[in-house]
Amino acid sequence: MKTEEILKKNESSDTVKGTIGRRSVIGWFWKVVGALAVIEMGWITSSVLRSSQHSKTDTSKELVDVGMVAEFTPGTVTPVPLGQFHLACLADGSFLALSKSCTHLGCSVPWDEKKKKFVCPCHGSTFDLHGVVLTAPALRPLDYYPVFIENGLVRVDVSKPMRRDAFGPTQTSRV
């Protein structure tokens, strides 16, 4: 019986009336963390559902007006910061809108006027005027955007870049 009395005495001395025990504080903490996690998951789910509904109903083109056909010289590349693309005016007078994103890892690829090619500053991939890969590590050409010419005005639909495996004349637009 002495052992039982000692245990009861120790239990009563550890618990002070009016104080909060360590277990109840930890339990309260985990309940708050769980509630915050549920709220965050609900917010993420509603955001995803709203964005997917928006993309289903929004089928319009996002056109960027670049300029009049007469303003472009064949064999030149014009960067268009608003649409995040380059507009290439090819030797035959047709137009090709190329994405600024390298197909290797997505770095922004500038046009090097002296070298007459796109050079990726991240890993050294190079692309010609048509966006075709000249040197790796990129394995496929730059993505392109559809170009429309309406009443002499060059317009580019930047709503969705078009993936490609090679350059083809159907990817260009001419007057």
Total domains in the chain come to 2
Read off the pTM.
0.64
Specify whether 153 is located in the same domain as 72.
yes
Same domain, residue pair 53 and 68: no
Domain carrying residue 95: 63-171
Same domain, 17 and 102: no
Confidence check: pLDDT of 7 > 70: no
pLDDT of residue 22: 82
Q: Are residues 41 and 95 in the same domain?
A: no
Q: Are residues 90 and 132 located together in one domain of the fold?
A: yes
Q: How confident is the model at residue 4 (pLDDT cuts 50, 70, 90)?
A: low
Question: b/e map of 32-70 (b: 16 or more CB within 10 Å)?
Answer: eeeeeeeeeeeeeeeeeeeeeeeeeeeeeeebbebeebe
Q: Is the pLDDT of residue 169 over 80?
A: yes
* Cβ atoms of 109 and 119 closer than 8 Å: yes
Quote the pLDDT of residue 58. Answer: 47
pLDDT surpassing 90 at residue 60: no
Among 44-53, 70-79, 127-136, 155-164, the range scoring the smallest mean pLDDT is 44-53
CATH of residue 148's domain is 2.102.10.10
Looking at the fold, whether 47 and 70 belong to one and the same domain comes out as no
pLDDT of residue 23: 83
Average pLDDT, the chain: 85
Instruction: Please give the single-letter amino acid code of residue 126.
Output: T
CA dist 162 and 87 (Å) reads: 15
- Average pLDDT on 91-117 reads 93
